[in-house]
Structure 1
Amino acid sequence: MVRVHEKVKEFVRHRWVVFVCAMWDMSFAGTSYMFGSISPVIKSSMGFNQKQVAFLSVAKDLGDNVGLLAGKFSQLYPISTLILIGVFQNVLGYGLVWLVVTHRLPALPLWLLCILIFVGQNGSTYYNTAALVSSVQSFPESRGHVVGILKGFVGLSGAIWTQIIAMMNLPDQASLIFIIAVGPAMVSLALIFIIKPVHTYQQSRASDESGFMFIYSICLLLAAYMTGVLLLENMLHLDQTIISMFALILIILILLPITVPILLVFFSGPQSADQEALLEPPLLQATKSKNVIGESSSTARVTKHVENEKSIPPNLEVLPLSEGPRDMFQIQARLWQALTNALRKIKLKNGPRRGEDFTLSQAMAQADFWVMFFSLVMGAGSGLTIINNMGQICQSLGDNNVNVYVSVISISNFLGRVGGGYFSEVIVRNFGYPRLIALAVIQAMMSLGLFYYVVGLVGQVYVVGILNGFGYGAHWSIALAAASELFGVKNFGTLYNFLTMASPAGSLFLSGFVASTIYDYYAEQQSKHRMMQTFEASNLAISYHVIANNSEVLLCEGNICFSLTCGILALVCLFAASLSLVIAHRTRRFYAQLYEESRRGPNYASHLAEKKTLPRAGAEKRRERSKLRRRARLVLPEEDDRREKGADRSYHVDRIDDQSEARMQKKRRIVR
């Protein structure tokens, strides 16, 4: 009984349980994808026009992406506090919207409804920050896998909610707003005591890779299952029993990842400390020594700083041999404390290096951070522009299967987030290339899909939808994992929420100015051309003026409506890929050293340690004497190494001089 209790306690505190619960939380936190389902009931109940609904959509996008406050709170408060704040905002914002739409509260002006939707949707940023920060800090050696899977489930949450709501068979669309207000909050509250960072690095096992492969398999199965269900629902008329059965199967698939921690805790045998050391991932070893890049070059600076600042107390200069080991340990502790203080002063003066923990202000002073941000603005902004205009693209081509294409984009977005994380992990671990090379490849792939639409070949909507949905999703798994590697995981919540603002910023310019301007231009030209064919030339100006003033929306037909826009977006994606390659070139040495041991195999670290500890011939006695000198006079290791090298050189010089003198004497005897 005691053994079972210990296993249950270990299971609850296991980092795989934290990750699986974070996946469940993300599966229901992406409520922004449900706005298209609730906007019609808001429009009809409040009497809004399409432009006013567009303002509500902008408020929703801002609330979903502006999460700097959540990132800042992740540094100051525990994860449970973040979840509580998110629950409060979610229930408050969407709860009041539901009361207004159902006329339980008096009607509110448009600006106040925008604020309520912003507050309600902004609660999801606290859910996302809590899940990502907890998982990344619990799996520092598998950041690409963790970020990709979590962001993938966020993208799939819209389709998950659609199936669950279809099973519930709600009486009206207004009830959907109530579900959005309380559904994610209930899931997050149920997991509030489990989602938190677990800093137990000894739990790293070789089975982690098989665990991630199992979850990737579930993700592919989920994508295939959702695709089949959506196609069946669009092609056939299904009764409520079959719809409920589909939803139950979906919930079972979402719960399947919990088998990974169950197998690891209850069905895996105990391992010794030696086995844990052998199974420790190379990246984790690099994480433990975060200053591996440039560490050797900074040692001399630290020693010099200690000598100049006289950080060592006077009583440390001489230590009699009669002192006991207890005093010796105290002296060593003081010495290392002085060295640590000196290193901290140098870091405060020069700033952190790549791979160390940056604050947001320190990261914003780095060129790598801004190059990455603008690469996201262009790449993710292009993908979001296509996603937001998919309805008008289908309408311009005369295709009425908008729901099918939107579902295809949603599933492609999910696969991109999951597959992008896996693809980038393969690049950095197997080849040692920078992670941003994967992002450059994804952005080039998006450019090819956009050029395919420009040419106007068969299946252009499917191609541009799949490639851009996949590429848009891959941006977040690759870029966020790279940000945690380059700028550290301590302030990852703040960095993550700042980088996510790149998507609405890019969409605001590319969709709000470029795509809409080009679409309206061709729509006006086609409207003018139709009037020229209908009316006589004498009535053209008057008729055009009347129609232009009376028509609210100008419709464009044909491939020309978005072909120029897609061409511009393709060039923008190519420029974004070039920016990603710039970062990859700047960080190539960092990634080469960070993942060097991973590429050379698990035995490389032990081989390197043995090679460094091989004693030189005839140097054992000198090493023993150096240890005695360190105890007597507390000589720094670097100074003692220099003395040893100098002694070796003087020994060889004296030996050469003796040999040359012997040869000269032999020559003199021969001459005589």
Structure 2
Amino acid sequence: MVKFSEKVGSFVNDRWLVFVASMWVQSCSGIGYLFGSISPVIKSGMGYNQRQIALLGVAKDLGDAIGFLAGSLCEVLPIWAVLFIGVVQNFVGYGVVWMIVAHKLPALPLWVLCVLIFIGTNGETYFNTGALVSCVQNFPKSRGPIVGILKGFAGLSGAILTQVYAMFHFPDQASLVFMVAVGPSIVITAVMFLVRPVGGHKQVRPSDHSSFLFTYSICIILAAYLLAVLLLQDLSSLSEKVVTLLTIVLLILIVLPVIIPIFLVFFSGPRPVLEESLLPEPDKQESSRMGSFILTLSETEDEKSSEAETLPPSERQKRIAHLQAKLYQAAAEGAVRVKRRKGPRRGEDFTLLQALVKADFWLIFISLVLASGSGLTVIDNLGQMSQSLGYANTHIFVSMISIWNFLGRVAGGYFSENIVKYYAYPRPVAMAAVQVVMAFALFFYAVGWPGSIYVVSVFIGLCYGAHWAIVPAAVSELFGLKSFGALYNFLTLASPAGSLIFSGVIASGIYDYQAKQQHEHRIQGSGLGLGVPLVKDEFLTCYGTICYSLTMAIMSGLCIIAFILSMIVVHRTKRVYAQIYGNPLA
């Protein structure tokens, strides 16, 4: 009995259980992805026009992007408290929206609904931050797969919640808002005490590689199953029993990874004593040798090769000790002034303010604005793009790109992890590679080649998703784990910042211009002449590849610029990654 209780204690504190619980948190935390389904309900229930719904969409985007408070609270509060704040915001925000839409409360002004949707969606930032911070600290040497899988489940959460909603057969459409308020709140409250750092770097097992492969297999099966279910429901009319059965299978697939911690704790042998370092060993050794005084070094010195790097460890240590003695002697005699180092070096723990003065951080952020902003612009406009090409079922492409987005996040984490683990090469090179693929896909659409909408749906979904597996892991390696929550939430501003310019200004402006041109040509062709007034802009529709071809060409060029910025980061951080992951294939 005592042994069983010890096993239960080990199970609760196992890092794989934390990871699985974080997957469950993420699988219902992508509330913003459901806005496309919620907005028609609000529009019909409140009698809003499209411009008012657009304002609610802006409030949703702001709530989804502003996560500074969540990142800061992760440093001072336990993770369960951070998750609970998100639960309260989600429940209150969308709960009151449901009561207004269902007419259980009197109608309130539009700005009140904007505030409520901002509050409700902002709860998502607490879910994301709590899950990512916990798991990255528990798996410091597997950051790519961890971030990729968790962000992938967040991307799939919209499809998962939609399928669960279909199973319950609620009597009215307003119930979807009710489910968004209640569903994630119940799930995350149930597991919030499991999601936390548990000293996972001391729980390394030889079977971890197999556990990751099993998790990847579940992810691929889940993506294929969801895609099949979406197509099946779209192409045929399913009975309530079939929908319920399909949803139960989906929930089983989501719960299935819990087999990993159960097997490791209850059915495997004793765990060998292995440990992953949270910080690069060279930094630890150097700091212990040099103490609190070191020479002030510029950031560019990280890239310079040193003769000492080629010496054997024993000889190198002797030289450093000799240099240290001479340095202290010179300092004592006043011949040399020794300064305290100003701030950390790359690979150590940075605060957000310290990272904001580093060139590498801004290079990554600007590259992310250009490439990820372009991807989000495509995602936001995909319905109109497919409609302009004459496709009737536009939501099929929207569903497709969400599935490929999920697979991109999973694959981005996997392949970037192999790059750093087996070759000790900077992770941002994977970001540069996907940016080249994005540029090709956007150019493919710009020239109007056949099947361009399919190419864009697949490759933009994959590459956009890959960014959000690669970048958080790279930033945690270069700027440390201490303030990872704040760093991550600052980076999430990149996509909406890019989309605000590319979609709100460039894409919409070009689309409206082409739509007006086509309308004028139709009037001329009908023989009515130019004296006929144009219809209002919101009723104009553009047809053909010309509607978005120039926008795609511009964003293709921006992705090439992002590629160049990413390669600059690769060049600047080669030595840092060599220190963290060792010599390539040595």
| TM-score higher than 0.5 | yes
Question: Secondary structure of the equivalent of 2:538?
Answer: coil
CA-CA distance at 1:533 after TM superposition: 1.5
1:128-168 Cα offsets, whole Å, 9 max, x none, are 11111111111111111110100000000111111111111
The change in CA–CA distance for 1:133 and 1:559 in structure 2 (over 3 A counts) is same
Conserved 8 A contact 2:138-2:199: yes
Distance in 2, matches of 1:269 and 1:599, equals: 31
The change in CA–CA distance for 1:597 and 1:401 in structure 2 (over 3 A counts) is same
1:127 aligns with 2:127: yes
CA-CA distance at 1:244 after TM superposition: 0.8
CA-CA distance at 1:532 after TM superposition: 1.1
Distance in 1, matches of 2:399 and 2:466, equals: 17
1:204 aligns with 2:204: yes
1:554 to 540, 558, 565: 540
Give the equivalent residue in structure 2 for 1:383. 375
TM-score by length of 1: 0.79
Give the equivalent residue in structure 2 for 1:257. 257
Deviates more, 1:196-205 or 1:133-142: 196-205
Distance in 2, matches of 1:535 and 1:358, equals: 68
The gaps in structure 2 that reach 5 residues or longer are 296-327, 329-337
Q: Percent identity?
A: 54
Tell me which amino acid in the other structure corresponds to 2:77: Y
Deviates more, 1:201-210 or 1:579-588: 201-210
Distance in 2, matches of 1:535 and 1:271, equals: 83
TM-score by length of 2: 0.90
Give the equivalent residue in structure 1 for 2:316. none
Conserved 8 A contact 1:286-1:594: no
1:98-144 Cα offsets, whole Å, 9 max, x none, are 11111111111111111110001001111111111111111111111
1:474 aligns with 2:466: yes
Give the equivalent residue in structure 1 for 2:550. 564
Give the equivalent residue in structure 2 for 1:665. none
Tell me which amino acid in the other structure corresponds to 2:241: T
1:427 aligns with 2:413: no
1:17-64 Cα offsets, whole Å, 9 max, x none, are 011000011001111111111111111121111111111111101101
Distance in 2, matches of 1:599 and 1:189, equals: 45
Give the equivalent residue in structure 2 for 1:574. 560
The change in CA–CA distance for 1:394 and 1:533 in structure 2 (over 3 A counts) is same
Aligned length: 546
Question: Secondary structure of the equivalent of 1:398?
Answer: coil
The change in CA–CA distance for 1:56 and 1:347 in structure 2 (over 3 A counts) is farther
Distance in 1, matches of 2:243 and 2:286, equals: 63
The change in CA–CA distance for 1:47 and 1:303 in structure 2 (over 3 A counts) is closer
The change in CA–CA distance for 1:431 and 1:90 in structure 2 (over 3 A counts) is same
Deviates more, 1:348-357 or 1:256-265: 348-357
Tell me which amino acid in the other structure corresponds to 1:215: T
Question: Secondary structure of the equivalent of 2:84?
Answer: helix
Give the equivalent residue in structure 1 for 2:114. 114
Distance in 2, matches of 1:174 and 1:509, equals: 33
Conserved 8 A contact 1:290-1:356: no
Give the equivalent residue in structure 2 for 1:629. none
Give the equivalent residue in structure 2 for 1:528. 520
Note the 1:85-484 alignment, pairs <5 A.
Answer: 85-271=85-271, 276-277=273-274, 280=275, 284-285=276-277, 287=279, 289=281, 291=283, 296=286, 299-300=289-290, 302=292, 349-484=341-476
Distance in 2, matches of 1:593 and 1:80, equals: 34
Larger helix proportion of the pair:
1
2:505 to 513, 523, 526: 513
Tell me which amino acid in the other structure corresponds to 1:289: E
Give the equivalent residue in structure 2 for 1:343. none
Give the equivalent residue in structure 2 for 1:591. 577
Distance in 2, matches of 1:152 and 1:178, equals: 25
Tell me which amino acid in the other structure corresponds to 1:498: F
Give the equivalent residue in structure 2 for 1:32. 32
Question: Secondary structure of the equivalent of 1:458?
Answer: coil
CA-CA distance at 1:297 after TM superposition: 8.8
Conserved 8 A contact 1:290-1:355: no
Conserved 8 A contact 2:205-2:271: no
CA-CA distance at 1:588 after TM superposition: 0.7
Conserved 8 A contact 1:432-1:592: yes
Which has the larger Rg?
1
The gaps in structure 1 that reach 5 residues or longer are 306-338, 340-345, 601-672
CA-CA distance at 1:299 after TM superposition: 4.0
2:477 to 485, 489, 494: 485
Question: Secondary structure of the equivalent of 1:75?
Answer: coil
Conserved 8 A contact 2:294-2:341: no
Conserved 8 A contact 2:280-2:347: no
1:252-311 Cα offsets, whole Å, 9 max, x none, are 111111111111111111255xxx35xx5xxx247363615xx54994575689xxxxxx
The change in CA–CA distance for 1:290 and 1:140 in structure 2 (over 3 A counts) is farther
Conserved 8 A contact 2:32-2:60: yes
Give the equivalent residue in structure 1 for 2:323. none
Tell me which amino acid in the other structure corresponds to 2:126: Y
RMSD: 1.9
